[in-house]
Amino acid sequence: ETELMDQHQADELDDLNLDSSALWESIFEEAEDHYYGFGDTLQDFKEAMKLYVHAAKLGALPAYSQIGEMYLQGKGVQANADTALKYFKEGARKGSVFCYWAMGMLFWRSEDYPEKNTLENTNKCFSIFLRCLDEGLSGGQLLTEDQWISVDQDCVSLLIPKVLHDIEPPVVLNIFFFQRIESIRARVQGMI
């Protein structure tokens, strides 16, 4: 038996190289169309959720953060922070660096986890996010353009309480804020 395994004959299947993103990209794009109501597609959160879940099962890392956000906001589903956290954790486990950011924001904003050390969890999630960026996202996925927009918007929401009420954002992000200052400034100008 092992002889058969050791003596592999080259055939046309050896040249078959499937790009895993090809399996989920069109489903993810269709989910985005339904979520945002792009083009002629009617906005339909329930259909978007169904498609995001399908895309996630096929390996779409960005789908995990979208599903988590939909559970946080109650779009197409009953709002549930625990389920959102579950999807963020699973996405992070599979290599979505953005899911660490999303978890950091969830813990920072959340009143749903008073029994847990939310500041410690916030700092851990943001630290892992930053470390992954520093390490060049080896083995993970680069952030999408939409995810960078979300990060910049979140940075604005983290900095506004500092300016208005002297409430410090997570210290672990101070250097990151300076690195992203131009993007954050552009995001603020776009909001005005």
128-152: pLDDT as tens digits? 999 988 887 544 457 888 899 999 9
> Exposed, middle or buried: residue 31 (CB in 10 Å: 0-12, 13-18, 19+)?
buried
pLDDT in the model for residue 49: 97
18/5: higher pLDDT: 18
Contact between residue 69 and residue 83 where contact means Cβ atoms under 8 Å apart: no
Q: How confident is the model at residue 37 (pLDDT cuts 50, 70, 90)?
A: very high
When pLDDT is averaged across residues 171-177 and rounded to a whole number, the result is 92
- pLDDT confidence of residue 141: 53
Task: Say what the pLDDT of residue 15 is.
Answer: 53
Q: How is the chain split among helix, strand and coil, in percent rounded to 5? A: 70, 0, 30
Q: Does residue 187 carry a pLDDT above 60?
A: yes
Checking if the pLDDT of 173 tops 70, the result is yes
Q: State the pLDDT at residue 144.
A: 85
User: How does DSSP classify residue 96?
Assistant: B
Q: Per the structure block, which two tokens stand in for 44? A: 């339909």
Confidence of residue 162 (pLDDT cuts 50, 70, 90): confident
pLDDT at 177: 92
Strand extents, DSSP E, 12-165: none
Give residue 77's pLDDT band: very low, low, confident or very high (50, 70, 90). very high
Alpha-carbon distance of 74 to 77, in angstroms, equals 5
Percent residues over pLDDT 90 in the chain? 58
More confident residue, 116 or 22: 22
